[in-house]
Structure 1
Amino acid sequence: MGRTEAVQMVRWVQKRRGGTLRLRIAVGCLLALAVIAAIDAHIRPAIQSMASYQAKVYATRVLNEAVEMQLAGEGVSYQDLVVLSIGSDGKVQAVQTDVVRLNLLKAALTNAAIDQLAMLQQQVVSIPLGTLLGWQIFSGWGPAVEFRLVPGGYVDAALSHRFDSAGINQTRHQIMLRLDANIVAVLPGYTTSTEISTEFLLAETVIVGVSPDSFTQVLTGEEQGIERLIADYAR
């Protein structure tokens, strides 16, 4: 074998070795990516669930504090929001709501909630390694893995009126404010959203009607005769 042929042979061997090395590197990278994807798919539900829970707890507390502080500052009573029309016989004929005052109160409470929500700071979410890996037997065990939680979201508000019985010819009237918020939790590489809803009692009263002179109580029970099912009570 001549010198030229020997040099060509060496180059061919080196080229083949280089190609094999590149192939091995490519295969190794693909395997590493597959392992990373498998780990991510395994731990993603745990991270998103924990982040969603932490965001919900934190946002609910902030919304409650914002509304409670605003209500304390407003000092609103039932009489400020509702006027009861009383007839000449002393009976309540109508319930009139001060729509303007009620909408102003709703706007003030909603703005207070939005302002507080916008001031949410980054939170540190710590998840035990055993929980993160999804192993039930090791759930809650192992060193804590920390993530930075950046919450954000928006708030919708709705007013409602509730009327229910509070006794004989007595009706309880409640004015409720419901806040619905969509909270987005952003972590490095992960994003999850959660819905929260909380209600606040703005005002209530019991509207008392005219008590009857007597009333009838009907008892149930197959063992009782019909003459024992009805009992009249005098006032």
Structure 2
Amino acid sequence: MLYYRHRKRKFKILRRILLSTFLIILSFIIFCEVHLSDFRPEYIRIQAEILSVNSVCDAANSTLEKLGYSYDDIAKIKYTTDGKVQAIETDSIKINKIKSEITKSVQKEIAKVYDNEIDIPIGAFTNITVLSNWGPSITLSFNLTGSFSSEIVSTFEQAGINQTVHHIRLMLTSKIMTTSLDYSGNITFTTDFEIAQSVIVGEIPSSYGNLYRTY
């Protein structure tokens, strides 16, 4: 009889421990789920922005390096008989090739990273800095897709007496859409790439080819 009571008491204690453990786990899951709804958009947005910017920059820089155009390949400076700058003419075929090649390269690079995952440490939910990277991680999945447009921009910068630096730049605008199971967002950013530059001696003419001029 005493053995039976002792066994029954141990069973009650075990049941309480199991019930307490279950409630703690359930509370923790609910806690993580509530906080995850707040963390998810920001974590995904930041990760998507880093990933898309890196992909765009890598693709554009790789394409520019592969094309290897110099300033003389893209633009020609025309002088008058007395040595003054008369006009700057640009090669529209090569300009269009740069734009199309970079756009295609960027699209391919973004397509490679269409499927993505991000791990959020459980400690991040505590809002305590020292615990932010603590504990196992919860994995979130998201997708990236985008559209791109480019523009060749010509700028002139004073470099001294009667000298001007002519910059030819590519302005690439990226519109990235991020989607996950219960989140979607858009990221738009413009990246500036230097294609070529040259120092021009003399006054800049009013005619400078088909490039857009800014100051």
* TM-score computed with the length of structure 2 as normaliser: 0.72
- Aligned equivalent of 1:227: none
Paired amino acid for 1:168: I
Matches within 5 A, 1:207-218: 207-209=200-202
RMSD, aligned CA: 2.5
- Aligned equivalent of 1:184: 177
Counterpart check, 1:135 vs 2:156: no
Superposition deviation, residue 191 in structure 1: 2.0
- Aligned equivalent of 2:144: 151
Equivalent-residue separation in structure 2 for 1:61 and 1:41 (angstroms):
31
Paired amino acid for 1:109: I
Paired amino acid for 2:152: L
Counterpart check, 1:125 vs 2:125: no
- Aligned equivalent of 1:67: 60
- Aligned equivalent of 2:162: 169
Equivalent-residue separation in structure 1 for 2:184 and 2:133 (angstroms):
23
Whether contact under 8 Å (1:160, 1:177) holds in the other structure is yes
Unaligned runs of 5+ in 2: 1-28, 204-215
Superposition deviation, residue 173 in structure 1: 0.7
Query: Matched residue of 1:88: which SS?
Result: coil
Whether contact under 8 Å (2:114, 2:145) holds in the other structure is no
Deviations 1:146-196 (A, max 9, x none): 112221111121221111111221101111111111222222222222223
Whether contact under 8 Å (1:56, 1:196) holds in the other structure is no
- Aligned equivalent of 1:5: none
Asked which structure has the greater RCO (Cα within 8 Å, sep 6+), the reply is 2
Superposition deviation, residue 140 in structure 1: 3.5
Matches within 5 A, 1:7-26: none
Paired amino acid for 2:201: V
Percent identity reads 29
How many residues are matched? 175
Deviations 1:16-69 (A, max 9, x none): xxxxxxxxxxxxxxxxxxx97x97664334211111111111112211221122
The structure with the larger Rg is 1
Equivalent-residue separation in structure 1 for 2:36 and 2:199 (angstroms):
53
Unaligned runs of 5+ in 1: 1-34, 211-235
Matches within 5 A, 1:111-122: 111-122=104-115
